[in-house]
A and B are shown apart, each in its own frame.
Chain A
């Protein structure tokens, strides 16, 4: 059922019950008659044919009445049923509170907000550090008592985070290898230097791009999955249940994930490197008239074991970062399902950030351990 408004200067007569579907109708009505009401300087809202009103329409109606009052119009209500009076009274009680609410973002509060978010950031990092220490503690404890290692869980996570990531890691790195090879070769050809492409490509892929892309993919696939898994268990009191059964949460939930990633990450990086270089070879053959044989012999002269090892070593750091951040974000979940969603996002963003940060640090510190390239 919906209501109708009629303007009969100075009266607005309401017929029927104004429902929440009538909001636009009410707005348009008042817009249309606004100037006439202002001219007459008087408004009587007449409920004689209306037994009630929805609060949704009432708040709109009241808004117009207040606005008109401020413009100097004398507004009055007539024949208002008790129930409608109560709705208006309750609305006006909260109206001023609501406008206070909206105006609350002052400069001071903005600054306070910024300060607080920095503080929260700092406390997150501090919490993460503590969490990492506790995980490492549990990790060592497990290593000392190998019977306690939960092999079936480690295998499960190795399959989920490692084996199942093979196609995407291989494909994307291959594709990137093709593109990089083409880009580099295209530019180097200007100097007639396209023969150096294989070496440069292999260097950039094994030292930076391969490990990084593999880590980013694992963070997106598994870091988020860890956060979601633990977060959901947290929300459903499963974590509490495990704790009161005397389970060590770190040992049960966190260590298997970290161990699994420690096992699979080096191999994912190896795979990423190989597929990236293969991509470069393909692009050499297709775009630069560089036969596969030449490509391989160039590589053979340039690539040293350290190139392969270094990425695998870095990946150990990435594995610790991704599993710790994912589990920590899941553990921090409080409240309901939406908190789980936020935790997964936070896990991905935070672990990618930290992976890149760690990579930058490692590269700055160790760039000189690699002897100069021999082209």
Chain B
């Protein structure tokens, strides 16, 4: 299997606050990779570096062998092939849900209005929101906003799907449904998926591989499948993360 994204020697953070130091990992074609760790360990920061929202202090982020920060075209090319769903959905409040999904189509394709609407509806259908197409994003629930965000992220059939905290703010059932949706997209379209989360249930449900970050080391402290990390790790921080949560779950 090939690496779609390679992160090499990444150092970064906010303004003058260092968060990550020496982060190296690969994202393989077609896998679901989960970036996990305790609150404040830098998961969202890492994702923002990868998405090109904040510039890394050092190191490279390679998408299919090309450093996305090397020039604006590389970044634009990567972004056209990536889909991103933000924690809040981040739908534009002045557009309807349908128009939100049409946004990338409008920007990047020469489809006619009718064709764009058709594509947008089929994406909304995938996430089960076709009947809410004309609603304003603010009029639907948080879970629906996330699904609409997912539909928008999928509008151009991305090669890589990024997802920040899919389960945050959702009840366990809705969250599990969203997980299944992500999994089925991954399996049927072969989309590579990168998810930031600290929800153990979804880690065990759908991840192929997990990397765990830690605030103190400012880097990766463990890599492997969810089961390997839970049962095989001797690192007390990894054990605490996986055991404590598991313990709470069985309570």
Contact = CB atoms under 8 A, between A and B. Distances in A.
Contacts of A238: 90-93
B86 A243 contact: no
Interface string A221-245: 0000000000011001110111111
Contacts, number: 47
B76 A240 contact: no
A240 B90 CA distance: 8
A79 B217 CA distance: 48
B151 to A, nearest CB: 13
Contact of B80 (A236, A241, A242, A246): A246
A238 B103 CA distance: 12
B79 interface: yes
A244 B83 CA distance: 8
A86 B92 CA distance: 49
A118 interface: no
Most chain B CB neighbours (cut-off 10 Å) among A232, A233, A245 = A245
B107 A244 contact: no
B86 A237 contact: yes
Contact of B84 (A232, A233, A236, A244): A244
A240 B80 CA distance: 14
B79 A246 contact: yes
Contacts of B88: 236-237
B107 A246 contact: yes
B91 A244 contact: no
The dominant DSSP class at the A interface is helix
A237 B104 contact: no
B51 interface: yes
A246 B76 contact: yes
**Which of A232, A237, A243 counts the most B-chain CB atoms under 10 A from its CB?**
A237
A245 B52 contact: no
Nearest to A243: B53
B163 interface: no
Nearest to A247: B107
B69 interface: no
Interface in A202-238: 232-233, 236-238
A247 B80 CA distance: 10
A270 B37 CA distance: 61
- Looking at chain B's contact residues, the main secondary structure is mixed
A155 B104 CA distance: 22
A241 B107 contact: no
A237 B48 CA distance: 12
Interface string B89-113: 0111100000000011001100000
A369 to B, nearest CB: 43
A237 B90 contact: yes
B82 interface: yes
Contacts of B90: 236-238, 240-241
B76 to A, nearest CB: 5
A183 B160 CA distance: 70
Nearest to B76: A246
Contacts of B48: 240
Nearest to A156: B94
Contacts of B82: 244
A244 B93 CA distance: 17
A236 B76 contact: no
Given A237-B86, A237-B87, A244 B92 contact: no
Contacts of A237: 86-88, 90
A338 to B, nearest CB: 18
Contacts of A232: 93
Nearest to B80: A246
A238 B93 CA distance: 8
Contacts of B84: 241, 244-245
Interface string B28-52: 0000000000000000000010011
A238 B84 CA distance: 12
Interface in A239-258: 240-247
A243 B86 CA distance: 12
A245 B107 contact: yes
Interface in B149-172: 149, 162
Nearest to B94: A229
B79 A240 contact: no
28 contacts: A232-B93, A236-B90, A236-B93, A237-B87, A237-B90, A238-B91, A240-B48, A240-B51, A240-B53, A240-B86, A241-B86, A241-B90, A241-B91, A241-B92, A241-B149, A243-B52, A243-B53, A244-B51, A244-B52, A244-B53, A244-B79, A244-B82, A244-B84, A244-B162, A245-B79, A245-B84, A246-B107, A246-B108
Given A236-B88, A244-B79, A246-B108, 17 more contacts: A233-B93, A237-B86, A237-B90, A238-B93, A240-B48, A240-B51, A240-B86, A241-B84, A241-B91, A241-B92, A243-B53, A244-B52, A244-B53, A244-B162, A245-B107, A246-B76, A246-B104
The 6 closest A-B pairs by CB, nearest first: A241-B90, A237-B90, A246-B79, A244-B84, A237-B86, A244-B51
Interface of A: 232-233, 236-238, 240-247
